[in-house]
Chains A and B, each alone.
Chain A
Amino acid sequence: QKEVEQNSGPLSVPEGAIASLNCTYSDRVSQSFFWYRQYSGKSPELIMSIYSNGDKEDGRFTAQLNKASQYVSLLIRDSQPSDSATYLCAVNDKKVGGTSYGKLTFGQGTILTVHP
C-alpha cells in the first residue's frame, strides 16, 4: 500500500462546478496535511494546510480531514479554467516527542481540467 494515495485522474469538470479531490494516507500518527497546486512545468504551490478533524475554508477552497478514516479531501467551488493544474496531497511526518522535521510524503497527484 502506498503511503499517500490520491484518486486517479484526470478529473474534468465544467466551469462553475465543484471539483472534489480525495486523498488517503497510511500512517495513523500523521498530524499535518497539505494540498499543493502545480501548474505544468512549475513547482508546487501551497494552497491549503489542515491539522484538525473537520473542515477548513479559504475562499473557494475547502479542505476536509478525517483522521479516523485517514482521509483528506479538497473541494474547489466555482471552478475556473485557471484552476486547471495537478493537485498534490502531502502528509508531514511526525517524530516521537512531537517535533516535526517537515519531511513531506506526496501522493502521485490528480490532474484537474476545468473546461469553459
Chain B
Amino acid sequence: DAGVTQSPTHLIKTRGQQVTLRCSPKSGHDTVSWYQQALGQGPQFIFQYYEEEERQRGNFPDRFSGHQFPNYSSELNVNALLLGDSALYLCASSSPGRGRVTQYFGPGTRLTVL
C-alpha cells in the first residue's frame, strides 16, 4: 500500500521563476492538503483540494495556486518566486469524515530560491 508520494525531492529556482510540485495521495484517500514549512517553524496550511476544487485556503497570496486531477493527485504551483518561498513543501492526504480526519504526510519537496 503506497503512502503519499511527492516529486521532486529537491528543487532549486531563482527569484521570479515559477515552480510546480506534485503529490499523489495515499491509496483510498481523496483529499489533498498542502503545507509550507520554513526552517525552524511548524507547517503552515496553504490550501486543500477535494473533488478537484479548492475547498479551504490559508493565508497565502494568489501566487500560490493548485490543482487536483480526477485520480486525486495534485499539483502546487508558485509563481514569481521570492527568496522567502524557500521552504519544505509538504503534501498530506486524508479521507473526508465527520470530526476525525487524520492527515498523512508525504516526504516533502525542498525548494530553494536563489
Residue ranges of A at the interface with B (Cβ–Cβ < 8 Å): 4, 31-32, 34, 36, 42-46, 49, 51, 88, 90, 92, 94, 98-109
Q: Which residues of B contact A44 (CB under 8 A)?
A: 43, 90, 105
Q: Please name all residues of chain B whose beta carbon is closer than 8 Å to the beta carbon of A49 when the two chains form the complex.
A: 100, 102
Establish whether residues A32 and B56, one from each chain, have CB atoms under 8 Å apart when the complex forms.
no
Which A residues lie within 8 Å of B50 (CB)? Answer: 101
Per the bound structure, the CA–CA distance linking A36 and B97 in Å amounts to 20
The chain B residue sitting closest to A49, CB to CB, is B102
Number of B residues whose C-beta is below 8 Å from A?
A: 31
Cα-based distance from A106 to B100 in the complex (angstroms): 17
Q: Which B residue's beta carbon lies closest to that of A42?
A: B107
Q: Is the CB of B101 within 8 A of A43?
A: no
0/1 string, B19-55, CB within 8 A of A gives 1: 0000000000001010100001111110010100001
How far in angstroms is the closest Cβ of chain A from B81? 22
